[in-house]
Structure 1
Amino acid sequence: MNESGFRTAIASTAAVLIIGSPVPAQASPGAAGHLQQAAASDWPTYHRDNARTGDATDLAPLGTLGTAWQSTLDGAVYGQPLVVGGQILAATENNTVYALDPATGATRWSAHIGEPARRSELPCGNIDPLGITSTMVYDQATSRVYALAELTGGQHVLVGVNAGTGAVEVRTPLEPPKGDVLAHQQRAALTLFDGRVYVPYGGLAGDCANYIGSVASVTTAGTDPISYAVPTTREAGIWAPGGGVVDGQRLLYSVGNGESTMTYDDSDSVLALSPALQRVDLFAPDTWADDNAQDLDLGSSSPTLLGDHVIAVGKRGTGYVLNHDKLGGIGGQLAQADICQSFGGSATSGDTAYLPCTDGPAAVRVDAAGTPTVVWRAAVSANGSPTVGGGAVWVADWNTGDLYALAPADGTVRSQINLGTLPHFASPTLSGDHAYVGTMTGVVAVSGA
């Protein structure tokens, strides 16, 4: 399954939330259109780094939250905004990439990639229009931000946009390798690793037609395409918002349910892929057949790296602890425990993982033997994907539009503010004394960090 039943139809508006004062002006773009060297407070990819820690160690201490200013973009912002070189980078479902001035929210530049796909031309789905849904990734070596746009007719195009000028410098088709192109949606975050961009694919809400979970990749110049497809007859989408999690020289992906309940087909799993997109390791629960039959797979939440372990939690609610050097195959977990039904991307800080749960985040620790312990469950049912910084765990509730700052010690609420309507799996970006959240109604600036 992709995310059917967990997202609602959206309007063609967008927002980015900002908490605190502007990013320092000295990090502004250079005269030649190249951004200066990345600052420690930059957030160039989903949850800040390739391990997807979501940990902003230099975020200012939490204060009283309050709205500072608002602006509007041309479409909904589903992916996490990025912070690079003194500007905020955001992409919309109308296929426009923006650079925003953090002091005023004004647009510094915008690049429209092309007409987005419409619901009427797709076999199912619930985003209309459907444009750039995943979190982009910034490449310091080329000063480009990369985005995957879905265009009218169901085309999938990877673009590399100069982050200093907005010029589209790379544009290349990047389709899923198997199945019906129209049936695929690109929801999971892009990953930049060793000069290549990795793009995962899943299906549309409704799990219709013939889609097959896959990862496609090209170099940052848009050349040398390679791909991997899950060896299933249908489904097994790779769609969890965090995308590929880099563990050494491997990329870890969580995979949704496949069609088979008789012969194992690599679905309902955590896959380890090499940079060349060869499968090198795998974990699947020994309940995989029942998971596939009941849509209770691991594909709803990205893998979590915590020390020497990988934590995998999905729709069934069982948390599996894996040895990150050897994932264990079918039923090869080190330990397991009931944790929560999980959708989204996690964050980690020190020895603690903060997992996204449908009824509020959970703080989890794992001992040397691999045994997981739930340290706390949040006092509020915020269902977004958490990040950490400024002495708080930040999590949004996309049912109510509230953003919460929770105490890391016990999950109690330290502060909160309502942001309006949020997309599913919304996750705060943290930088300096700011937080940024893609929303559905405009660009909201909030002071108080």
Structure 2
Amino acid sequence: MPPGTVVRFMIVGQFEIRQGLLFRGAFTRYGFKSIGTAHKKRGVAAAMLLLSADDTGGSLEVAGGARSVLLAVVSPCGAACVHASRSAVVQDGVFHLSGEPGRAGWPQISSFSEGMGKETHVSVANPALRILVLCIACACLSAVRAQGVDAVPGYHRTGDRSGQYVVPGLTWQSASHLHRDSRFDGRVDGHIYAQPLYWRPPGSAVGLLIAATQANTVYALDAATGHVVWRTVLGPPVPRSALPCGNVDPVGITGTPVIDPAAGTLYLDALVNRQGEPAHLVFGLSLRDGAVLHGWPVDIAAGLRARGMSFDSRVQSERGALVILDGRLFVPYGGNFGDCGGYHGWVVGLRLDSPGVSGGWMTRGLKGGIWAPGGVAVADRALFVATGNTGGVETWADGEAIVRLATDLKRPASGRDTFAPTDWRELDESDLDVGGTNPMPIDLDGRRLIVGLGKDGKAYMLDRDNLGGIGGALVVQQVSSASIRTGPASYPAQNGVYIAFHGNGVACPAGQGGAGLVVLRIVAASRGGIGTAWCARVDGAGSPVTTTSDGAADRIVWIAGAEGDNKLHGFRGDNGQPVFAGGRDEDRIQGLRHFATILAADRRLYIAGDDRIYAFSFEP
């Protein structure tokens, strides 16, 4: 591309509009201070940025609230002229958009989805790009066409575990047409407890579904047909009889893996039978062909032993989802079902550039496992985990806690980085721990909060910058009469944030049954407030997610009746009115495991059962 060629980037997003400003921040290399004012059309705001490229490369750095970046190259003739598209995911708050800027005179449209209420900062990261003009361009909104994302890289899609997806065309009305796609193959080998993931290879029109099974087999399936693209066996799984306790047989890959989209790499933990001895091994696989990458796997016990720490793979389980932050991989560990042996709650860090254990944090007391399906949550470039009940301790020793960790995994020195309820001893004794769900970071009216849900049926609202130590919650509210063990989802709502979870609501609106799905309303009072927005009956124990048709409209809360009616259920996100009640008998799913979690990609919903991935479509 000749020097000085103008390439137009339109930035379109779903954001909370504050004081007329769409973005706050600065183009740091060029000294811009004001980003401009916003115009609103059905909640969509747009800004146009004109850049000049001195060569065929260049990059933008996007950080902050944006969770995904969707690109479409559009000719000047308008909405009917979409010629090509690609997209990428903002991983850990930073995404580098690189490659060809596009043909001269063609605008590239970028859609920042799932950024409600969060600031986004855009800066030029390559000196080859020069900013020429910044303006608002609402007239071009009609040219925006919703595109699919290139990756669902981890549990509930993003590191904050909010579970929000955009599915163009999936509205409150079209949801009633949802049906199982009988043409989708989806056959795999093994029980599946992990959420499937999604990755679209660069330049490909078809994405891959990634499924990991208890047989220690990883599959890449064509997301359109369900046919196997590649299959990798990582070693023999461990039979239940080789472990001191448990309820999974055999044990292989249990926790949800994580994808590095830019590198095209999948990371996971597998329990492998090594000549009769169980070993937790962390693998790095190429997403192109499933090959194990150089330097992997990493033996967790050996890596920690080299750092002077002891880890027993026989009594440690890996149920929680993995996460990547600042070039490191983080893996949570708890114990086996039955709480046997001398296990601890662990977060183990691994280097990605030079595979190996970089550090580890464990509970000081025995037990205290980190076992919730959402595993490690990320916010403010920090890690947040919830621990279970400890045993045999006289003083608090990291159990029944929400803990904030830096990426070096050094033990927090301040109560600002930990929270435990005042009745932690009673919770220990009754096995009513805080660790049944991952912490949920939320931003509300400028306040940085985090919400925990306990097996005691209580919701705990905390200040994310000061977790408060023992008894330091802003609000504690009984919200369920049953134990809460799930992967919750969160989404923005009028005057607050909603959090959806599987439970049995105690304050449901009149006429709404509380057994199955509960949606809390989190509001910003002086200390914050927790109420129940709505409830719905669901027979089963899945984990909820939400979809919208464009990032804001047609919010639907989806949950599977795992180990119950084995059907999908959808409800309006604002009031809980059913929009899909499971469909016909042929739409029933076989072999769903508790905590089963839905994935949305390519205008479909996917969910994993034993030996199969199921696809649901709302189109004929």
Using structure 2 for the length normalisation, give the TM-score.
0.65
Residue 218 (structure 1) shift: 0.6
Confirm or deny: 8 A CA contact 1:257 1:297 kept in the other structure.
yes
1:111 aligns with 2:244: no
Confirm or deny: 8 A CA contact 2:148 2:601 kept in the other structure.
no
Could you tell me how far apart the structure 1 residues matched to 2:396 and 2:186 are?
Answer: 50
1:407 aligns with 2:572: yes
State the superposition RMSD in angstroms. 2.1
Confirm or deny: 8 A CA contact 1:346 1:385 kept in the other structure.
yes
Aligned to 1:173: 299
Within-5 A mapping of 1:31-70: 40=149, 42-61=151-170, 62-69=175-182, 70=185
Consecutive unaligned residues in structure 1, runs of 5 or more: 1-24, 29-35
Aligned to 2:187: 72
Identity, % of aligned pairs?
33
Could you tell me how far apart the structure 2 residues matched to 1:208 and 1:260 are?
Answer: 13
Aligned to 1:83: 198
The alignment partner of 2:435 has SS state of: coil
The alignment partner of 1:363 has SS state of: strand
1:322 is aligned, of 462, 473, 476, to 462
Residue 411 (structure 1) shift: 2.1
The alignment partner of 2:341 has SS state of: coil
Aligned to 1:362: 518
Confirm or deny: 8 A CA contact 2:86 2:150 kept in the other structure.
no
Consecutive unaligned residues in structure 2, runs of 5 or more: 1-83, 88-97, 100-146, 201-206, 505-514, 549-554
Instruction: Please give the per-residue CA displacement for 1:186-220, whole angstroms capped at 9, x wherever unaligned.
Output: 00000111111100100111111111111111112
2:281 is aligned, of 157, 174, 181, to 157
Could you tell me how far apart the structure 2 residues matched to 1:56 and 1:247 are?
Answer: 19
Q: How many residues align?
A: 417
Residue 41 (structure 1) shift: 5.4
Residue 166 (structure 1) shift: 1.2
The alignment partner of 1:345 has SS state of: coil
Confirm or deny: 8 A CA contact 1:379 1:411 kept in the other structure.
no
The alignment partner of 1:293 has SS state of: helix
Could you tell me how far apart the structure 1 residues matched to 2:347 and 2:262 are?
Answer: 23
Instruction: Please give the per-residue CA displacement for 1:313-337, whole angstroms capped at 9, x wherever unaligned.
Output: 1110011110111111100000111
Within-5 A mapping of 1:192-231: 192-221=324-353, 222-231=355-364
Give the residue type in structure 1 aligned to 2:257. M
Aligned to 1:373: 531
Aligned to 1:353: 499
Residue 353 (structure 1) shift: 1.5
Could you tell me how far apart the structure 2 residues matched to 1:335 and 1:64 are?
Answer: 41
Residue 278 (structure 1) shift: 1.9
Give the residue type in structure 2 aligned to 1:227. G
Could you tell me how far apart the structure 2 residues matched to 1:59 and 1:53 are?
Answer: 19
Query: Cα–Cα, structure 1 residues 357 and 330, in superposed 2: closer, same or farther, change >3 Å?
Result: same
Question: Which shows bigger deviation, 349-358 or 338-347?
Answer: 349-358
Confirm or deny: 8 A CA contact 2:328 2:350 kept in the other structure.
yes
Using structure 1 for the length normalisation, give the TM-score.
0.88
Question: Which shows bigger deviation, 185-194 or 213-222?
Answer: 213-222
Confirm or deny: 8 A CA contact 2:450 2:461 kept in the other structure.
yes
Within-5 A mapping of 1:259-278: 259-260=391-392, 262-278=394-410
Instruction: Please give the per-residue CA displacement for 1:168-203, whole angstroms capped at 9, x wherever unaligned.
Output: 103211237545320111000001111111001001
Aligned to 1:295: 431
Aligned to 1:4: none
Confirm or deny: 8 A CA contact 1:78 1:133 kept in the other structure.
yes
Question: Which shows bigger deviation, 39-48 or 328-337?
Answer: 39-48
Indicate the structure (1 or 2) with the bigger Cα radius of gyration.
2
Residue 261 (structure 1) shift: 5.3
Of structures 1 and 2, the one with the larger relative CO (CA 8 A, separation 6+) is 1
Aligned to 1:97: 218
